[in-house]
Amino acid sequence: MANKVNSKVKLHVKKGDTVKVLAGDDKGKSGKVLRMLPSTNRAVVEGLNLVTKHYKPSAQNTSGRIEKIEAPIHLSNLMVVVGGTATRVGRKINEAGKLQRFAKTTGEFIK
């Protein structure tokens, strides 16, 4: 039986966040999250984790091509950047009574 993935799971990273990479070839670099892949707990970060993709020749492009594209990075290797520093993320109730993410280092709400 296949595992069902809950699409309502809350993650510490969201699309549009600035994140810092904690592990891998791009360790220490930061970038903006372009796309989230919650089913695999991964995110695509702008300009990071570049891989080489080879395209075969086709009718439109007779010579083929080689491109560098961003590959997904596991969420455990990403940390949200707030105010220029990487921080852990927590959740607490805001003034409007909604659960919202906040930076553990400063205590301020994220977005």
Q: Does domain 18-103 sit in CATH 1.20.1730.10?
A: no
Which tens digit of pLDDT belongs to each residue from 58-80? 999 899 999 999 999 999 999 99
Nearest 5 degrees, angle CA 66-CA 69-CA 75? 155
CB contact at 8 A, 21 and 32: no
Report which of 81, 90, 70 is spatially closest to residue 28, judged by C-alpha positions: 81
Map out the domains of the chain as residue ranges. Answer: 18-103
Q: CA geometry: angle at 67 spanning 63 and 68, to 5°?
A: 170
pLDDT of residue 7: 59
Entry pTM: 0.82
Task: Name 63's Cβ contacts closer than 8 Å, sequence gap at least 6.
Answer: 57
